[in-house]
Amino acid sequence: MNVIGARNLNLTFQTKDGPVQALKDVSLDIGKGEFVSFIGPSGCGKTTFLRCMADLEHPTGGEISVNGVSPEEARKARAYGYVFQAAGLYPWRTIGGNIRLPLEIMGYSKAEQQERVARVLELVELSAFEKKYPWQLSGGMQQRASIARALAFDADILLMDEPFGALDEIVRDHLNEQLLQLWRRTEKTIAFVTHSIPEAVYLSTKIVVMSPRPGRITDVIESPLPTERPLDIRDSPEFLEVAHRVREGLRAGHLDD
């Protein structure tokens, strides 16, 4: 069964300058355990599509299911963790307290909360920072803490909206490597929005290329790369070939302008 299934999804925003079609006839299936990247220029609807999966936007046409139910039911069942572009940690809570926040909301017992916080902090290599406040951490560490927060409860889907967009290249490489390890260990299904071609190719088992006006899918590329991916795989011919095809897809989207 597909974890995410979208059929002819349409979403039109009503704005002052008239209707804007953010998504047009978007159909896509995401299988269990896949790592799917969405790439495209601004306004191509990649974030909107992700927000539809999360029940933060409501499609005006078509169908979408998450774990076989509607996005709203999936949200209420806490089926996914969502990582935003900014870490969005509460300044008045410690790192541990921030990760505990969704667990408190979901009513986990104190002991269970503590156990889970310790486990996910270990997972993102921040165990020493549980008692620190967010401002005491670098931007990359804060984003790792926000990923830990999304992993703390039992959601097997991880929705990530340009989580590393605001970080520098070196930190980004390191986090990409960590995220891949994390994905292999936890076997989550990940939907990942990005601007960066190397990032999309390095991380994904499937790359979805989108283009704007109206937002639509122009290409879906199944990655031939092995699951084991050291950073220097990015210099291999296979990698460059996939990156080339993504670039072609992006360019094709622009030719219609």
Partner 1 sequence: MRSVLPVLTVVAGIFVIWYLAAIWLNAAWAYDKASRTGEELGFVMLVADTWSQDKPKLPAPHQVGAEIWDTTVEKKISSKRSLIYHSWITLSATLLGFALGTGLGIALAVGIVYNRTMDMSVMPWVIASQTIPILAIAPMIIVVLNAVGISGLLPKAMISMYLSFFPVVVGMVKGLRSPDAMQLDQMRTWNASPSQMFWRLRLPSSMPYLFTSLKIGMAASLVGAIVGELPTGAVAGLGARLLAGSYYGQTIQIWSALIMAAVLAAALVALIGLMQRITLKRMGMA
Strands 157-161 and 18-30: unpaired
Rounded to 5°, angle at Cα 133 from 129 and 135: 110
Peptide bond into 226 cis (omega under 30): no
Q: Please, which residue, 32 or 93, has the CB nearer to partner 1? A: 93
What's the rounded Cα separation, in Å, for the pair 178 and 159?
16
* Pairwise CA distance, residues 123 & 62, whole Å: 38
The minimum distance between CB 92 and partner 1, in angstroms, equals: 4
CA gap 162, 121 in Å, rounded: 21
Q: How many CB atoms lie within 10 A of CB 255?
A: 7
Q: One symbol per residue from 69 to 108: x for binding partner 1 (CB under 8 A), - otherwise; what is it? A: ------xx-x-xxx-xxx-x-xxxxx------xx-xxx--
Backbone angles phi, psi at 87, to 5 degrees: -60, -35
How is 70-83 classified by DSSP, letter by letter?
Answer: -HHHHHHTT-EEEE
CB of 73 to partner 1, least distance (A): 11
Residue with smaller CB distance to partner 1, 194 or 223: 194
Helix and strand tally (H, E) in the chain? 8, 9
Kindly state the smallest distance separating residue 210's Cβ from partner 1, in Å. 21
Least distance from C-beta 248 to partner 1, angstroms?
A: 34
Which amino acid, 223? S
Select 101 or 171, whichever has its Cβ closest to partner 1: 101
Nearest CB to partner 1, comparing residues 32 and 84: 84
The single-letter code of the amino acid at 25 is D
Helix (H, G, I), strand (E, B) or coil at 131: coil
Residue 226 binding partner 1, by CB under 8 A: no
Nearer to partner 1 by C-beta: 56 or 220?
A: 56
- Show the site string, 118-137: x = touches partner 1 by CB under 8 A, - = not: ---------------xxx--
Closer residue to partner 1, CB minimum distance, 89 or 201: 89
* Interface characters, 30-69, with partner 1 (x: CB under 8 A): ------------------------xxx-------------
- As measured in angstroms, the least distance from the Cβ of 144 to partner 1 is 17
Question: Which residues contribute to the site for partner 1 (CB under 8 A)?
Answer: 54-56, 75-76, 78, 80-82, 84-86, 88, 90-94, 101-102, 104-106, 133-135
